[in-house]
Amino acid sequence: MFEEHRDSLFRFLYRLTRNAPDAEDLLQETFLAVWRKRDRFEGRGSAGAYLRRTAYRLFLNARERTNRRAALAPTTVGTEACDVPGDGGDEHERREVIGFLAGRIREALDGLPDAAREAFVMFRYEGLTCAQIAAVTGAPVKTVETRVGRATALLAARLRPLQHHMSHL
């Protein structure tokens, strides 16, 4: 189970924590928690969903303990420094555009309210449906829809002006 779900669960946690060391810690804690309570897993849902739900709960606990998002804040978030243009080449330009866009997107995601950001990340990057997100977070499906919709509107306001950069990729 570890081998099967390790990478996807790590990516899930990394997107939530935005910090690789914290994601690694939570990953370990998730598997250990599931192992300790393996008798409670009734096998009614998928193991992946059960792991995600546990991981999300542990993530929330960790965040609550630290009581501030900064404690789980990214160490690498921000606009990446770009090389000075001039050495030419489409690939160089492409890398620059990607670095720039990635920085802006991370900033925009960080600017979202916690619940909206988490719902959006699961929806957009983990490919979970609203119902699946509801199962992970314990929130009603309608609430998940509202959170993702709100995140979408906020992100659109911030990111739409950058859309034309995509033509350089």
Partner 1 sequence: MNDSTRLDRIRALAERRLSAEEDERLRRELAADPELARLAEDFGAVHAVTAVLADDGPACRTSFDDLARAAEREPVFRRRWTRRVAAAAAVALLAAAAWYALAPAAAPAVVLGAIELDAAPAPAPVPEPPPGLAHYDPRGPGGVAWLDDFQAASWLSAASGRPLLVFGEIRGCPMCAKLDVDVFTARSVVDLIERYVPVRFDLDALPREEADALMRRGYPFLEVWSDRLEPIRPLSRQPDPAFFAESMRDGLAAADAEGEVASWDELRSLARTLDRARERETAGLFAGALDGYRALAGGASEPFRRLGDCGLARIAADARGTLLHAREVARSDPGGAEEVLRRALQRYAGTDYAADLRAVLERLRDSGRFPAVTAGAPRQPS
Q: Please, which residue, 66 or 138, has the CB nearer to partner 1?
A: 66
Q: Which of 14, 53, 117, 136 binds partner 1 (CB under 8 A)?
A: 14
Asked whether position 103 contacts partner 1 by CB under 8 A, the answer is yes
Contact 139, 153 (CB under 8 A): no
Contact 63, 69 (CB under 8 A): yes
Give the list of residues 6+ apart from residue 9 with CB closer than 8 angstroms, or none.
27, 30, 48, 51, 52, 55
The half-sphere exposure of 142 on its side-chain side, counting CA atoms within 13 A, is 0
How far is it, in rounded angstroms, from Cα 101 to Cα 20? 20
Q: How far is the CB of 15 from partner 1 (least distance, A)?
A: 7
Report the site for partner 1 in 23-62 (rule: CB under 8 A).
23-29, 31-32, 35, 58, 62
Asked whether position 141 contacts partner 1 by CB under 8 A, the answer is yes
Counting residues that bind partner 1 (by CB under 8 A) gives 75
Q: Which of 37, 46, 93, 138 binds partner 1 (CB under 8 A)?
A: 93
